[in-house]
Amino acid sequence: MNLPAPDYILAIQPYEPGKPCEELEREYGISDSVKLASNENPLGPSPMAAAAVSRCLKSLHRYPDATGYRLTRQLAAKLGVAPANIVLGNGSDDLIGMLARVFLQPGDEVLIPKPSFLMYDITVRAAGAVPVYSPLRQLVIDLEDLAKRLSPKTRMVFITNPHNPTGSVVTRAALDSFLAAMPAGVVVVLDEAYVEFVQDPHSPDGRAYLDENRLLVALRTFSKAYGLAGLRIGYGIMPQAVAELIHRIRQPFNTNTLAQAAACAALADSEHLAQTLKAVHDGLAYLQEGLRRMHVHYFPTEANFFLIDLERDAAAVNQKLLRQGVIVRPMGGYGYPHFLRVNVGLPSENERFLKALAVAL
Ligand SMILES: Cc1ncc(COP(=O)(O)O)c(C=O)c1O
């Protein structure tokens, strides 16, 4: 069929999500699989969020609150910013898309560390803009290299902190110098999808950069530490002028009633968040100790996932894990054919992974 789409759309490769358990179980005729591939919260959603969703069910015939009034105010109070500095999104993916629609034109350049979360590349290409890649240095975003790639066409820069897929962080000092060197008119997107898991005191906090004169947007999500990936809700912290631009093009009902209610409840459930952080940090220590005993190399992380270097073809090992019902993320597509990315699961899931890996190796 002759598709009248621009070449830059026809060239896009679709995003490959982590394999769902049901799909693996269908394919291999197995049951009881575990998924440690999408950096989800192993504990599930907050019970308070689940109850809030139930309470909303009777009002599903109504449109959502297009302004997200309650959630925006609750977030603003918690984050110490003004409600006008917050924009809600249908996941942070939605915010990445809206930022691209507001700021990018065909031919603009966007600096992206490589490898990175693949939606940056897809979203930039969908706008007809040109991704300009900066290789990581020892699995950390190389801010000096990123800055060297600035050109008069640069319109946007993505920095993920902690980075996906490595779990590494940049220091506040390095980010400060990078931002000081940014020309006016370049939008810095600081993606903090995993910020709640960070323990390194030198890692920056995007809120600190909120300044009405600085083109910086910090993105956060309820999909990871808050366990609401299935509901799709995230937010951006940004200067009011940027928020106002996004509101011009935002679909009025981009975040749904259930997601808004669940996010409000999850935000209030500090105990669930504390339990999540404990489960992740204890689980990381357990997994890494197990790998050390198996003499398998892994990299440090500030997120709820980490990279493992198998020093051999990880795709083959991944196949053996899948046959045992364990789903992780092989990193061949990210340029690391020997690596697996694994997120922390429940203690029983972590144990399953280590045992399956021992068999696979
Ligand atoms: C770095 C990064 N940013 C954004 C997202 C998207 O999150 P959301 O579920 O809020 O769209 C992810 C999800 O994996 C991610 O890893």
Question: What number does the ligand 1 atom closest to the CA of 90 have?
Answer: 11
Question: In this structure, what are the phi and psi dihedrals at residue 140, rounded to the nearest 5 degrees?
Answer: -115, 145
104, 243: one domain: yes
Residue 1 has pLDDT above 90, yes or no: no
Overall average pLDDT of the 3-18 stretch:
89
Residue 12 belongs to some domain of the structure: no
Question: What number does the ligand 1 atom closest to the CA of 221 have?
Answer: 10
Going by pLDDT thresholds of 50, 70 and 90, the confidence category of residue 20 is: confident
Report how far ligand 1's centroid is from the alpha carbon of 295 (Å): 31
Overall average pLDDT of the 15-30 stretch:
85
Query: What CATH code is carried by the domain that includes residue 308?
Result: 3.90.1150.10
116 in contact with ligand 1, CB cutoff 6 A: no
123 in contact with ligand 1, CB cutoff 6 A: no
Overall average pLDDT of the 333-347 stretch:
97
104, 211: one domain: yes
Q: Which residue from 63, 62, 41, 39 is spatially nearest to 50, judged by alpha carbons?
A: 41
41 in contact with ligand 1, CB cutoff 6 A: no
Residue 18 has pLDDT above 80, yes or no: no
116, 63: one domain: yes
Nearest Cα residue to atom 3 of ligand 1: 193
Overall average pLDDT of the 282-302 stretch:
98
* Separation CA 282–CA 274 (nearest Å): 12
Q: What is the CA radius of gyration of the chain?
A: 20
Report how far ligand 1's centroid is from the alpha carbon of 193 (Å): 6
Best of 15, 40, 117, 166 to mutate for ligand 1, by most ligand atoms within 8 A of CB? 117
Q: Which residue from 235, 270, 272 is spatially nearest to 255, judged by alpha carbons?
A: 235
For 211-264, write each residue's pLDDT tens digit: 989 999 999 999 999 999 999 999 999 999 999 999 999 999 999 999 999 999
Of 229, 244, 268, the one marking the end of a domain is 268
91 in contact with ligand 1, CB cutoff 6 A: yes
297, 258: one domain: no
**Residue 15: its pLDDT value, please?**
86
For 329-339, write each residue's pLDDT tens digit: 999 999 999 99
* Domain with 166 in it: 47-268
Amino acid code (one letter) for 207: R
Q: Map residue 56 onto helix, strand or coil.
A: helix
Token readout for 300 is: 């440090």
State how many domains the chain has: 2
71, 196: one domain: yes
